[in-house]
Amino acid sequence: MDELLRAWFSHNARSLPWRETRDPYAILVSEVMAQQTQVDRVAPRWEAWLERWPTVDALAAASPADVIREWQGLGYTRRALNLHRAAQQIAAHGWPHDLTELPGVGRYTADAVACFAHGRDVLPVDVNVRRVSERAGHTFTAASAQALMDLGATVCLARIPRCGACPLAERCPSRGRRYEPERKQGAFEGSFRQRRARTLRLVAAQELPAGDLDAEAVASLARDGLVRIVGATVSLPA
């Protein structure tokens, strides 16, 4: 199945800018950005980020406030602070062999950097890779990682897979099956996540009196280290 998949990938690969580099820092940034954000939104932001901070040392030297501002619009801003802390740790001590030692880096992200940057024989398993592997009933190799991700994102979809377009269909025991919709995250509109995002956006523009802001959102952001409260004023971390 690996050979069939890679043959399909050679003609159907998504054009993603971070696939043109082996720089572990650039790949780490792309993986963190794409954790909970659609890939088409990530690509231009990744390029802008690397233009501003082209190296891990450059990011490490940035202020948390600038990092938060640059991240605006990508959501889940704690990822930005973790990425910044990871850069500081790398700048001070070098890249650890196991990247899960870095702030905010889990098993998948660590394996993705190991595979795509260092060429290690480890398959990073995200939701797409897991779904294709389970449906196909096949253990794929690390050489098929990018192809698995693209097949899962464009053909072997979560609810209604496009089996007619799948290169693995003839050998797939799950061909033609429909699936229950996966549980989705609650709507953003009107949610507490939206209140947090709105409050952080206001504070990113300028420090403001706490009384002018959503108190519950401010408290939540402060717990995550995304804002600081000094007296009666709320601002980004220094």
Question: Which residues have a catalytic role annotated?
Answer: 31
What is the amino acid identity at position 60? A
The Cα 49–Cα 66 span in angstroms is 11
Residue count of the chain: 238
Q: Determine the Cα–Cα distance for residues 212 and 170; give it in Å rounded to an integer.
A: 61
Buried b / exposed e over 30-40, threshold 16 CB at 10 Å, is bbbbbbebeee
Are the beta carbons of 159 and 179 closer than 8 angstroms?
yes
